[in-house]
Chains A and B, each alone.
Chain A
Amino acid sequence: MGKKTCWSIIVITIAVNVMMLQWTVEAYLGRDNEFVLLYSGIGIAMAFIAFLTFLQWRKVEYAADSQQQTKERKAEPTSFPIEK
């Protein structure tokens, strides 16, 4: 899973969780207990997905970062040129 996919999933989870929170509160005020549990369950699942996606993004992001650093180190001259 690439970095862009991770970003997309996290943005989607935010959008879904905003809706779930609103619907949960509405269902709670309307005493629809079954719907409260349903929407809350979806909200918790989305929070879990967001966290797992974050872990995946972190892995990809920092792996790419450390690879770049290694390349830069290799490209650096090992000794200074001797001035004549």
Chain B
Amino acid sequence: MMTCPKDRNIRKQSKEDMVNLVDNIDQKDDLKYNRRAFLKSAVGASMALGLSTVPFSVRAMIGLAEPDHDRVEIVQLDQLPEGESVTFYYPTENDPALLIHTVEGKLVAYNSACTHLMCPVFYQKEKDVLLCPCHKGYFDVNDGHPIEGPPQRELPLIEIEVDNGVVYATGRQFRHG
């Protein structure tokens, strides 16, 4: 009886398991994507996540080591009547801030960059609130905390001091109240 010579190479027809195992076409994948490789990747991911916090902590340490802010003159108190505000820059020329003499007679100061998308914040005398007109964000004038709109964090508080009728900025707090 004549048989096709190629039939000899059809291993899958064999009853021997070991012969069929030779025909493992996914051998490379089996060696590459297995339980051990998965665990190794998981450990790598865990370490990468943990170590990715390092740059933030380095920046935070630099921030902690920064010297205290200077005492900077803002305005003469008699030039700022109740219900008015004045813009100044503190602690650097790139940090605009707002000193407000509220209708209740209180003096408060905040950095005026909105904590949402850094638009300038204005004092609204009629409603006695701070308004960010870009996305209608409102802040409480008494503590700088957001009361309406998209902002989620309070405005940085500028510590002030009145000395001989002159208002000075003496420091800044990011989290307050």
Contacts and interface: CB of A to CB of B under 8 A. Distances in A.
Taking each of A33, A41, A44, which has the highest tally of chain B beta carbons within 10 Å of its own beta carbon?
A33
Nearest to B65: A33
A20 B53 contact: yes
Contacts of B42: 10-11, 14
Interface string B49-91: 1111110110111011000000000000000000000000000
A46 B64 CA distance: 24
A73 to B, nearest CB: 17
Main secondary structure of the interface of B (DSSP, over half): helix
B50 A17 contact: yes
Main secondary structure of the interface of A (DSSP, over half): helix
B79 to A, nearest CB: 32
Taking each of A14, A20, A40, which has the highest tally of chain B beta carbons within 10 Å of its own beta carbon?
A40
Interface residues of B, number: 25
A33 to B, nearest CB: 4
24 contacts: A10-B42, A10-B46, A17-B50, A20-B49, A20-B53, A30-B153, A31-B175, A32-B174, A33-B60, A33-B61, A34-B64, A36-B56, A37-B57, A37-B60, A37-B61, A39-B53, A40-B54, A43-B49, A43-B51, A45-B50, A47-B51, A51-B47, A54-B39, A54-B43
Q: Which 10 A-B pairs have the closest CB atoms?
A: A47-B50, A40-B57, A17-B49, A31-B174, A36-B60, A40-B53, A50-B46, A33-B60, A43-B50, A43-B53
Given A36-B60, A43-B49, 11 more contacts: A14-B45, A14-B46, A17-B46, A18-B49, A21-B50, A21-B53, A33-B64, A43-B52, A50-B43, A51-B47, A53-B43
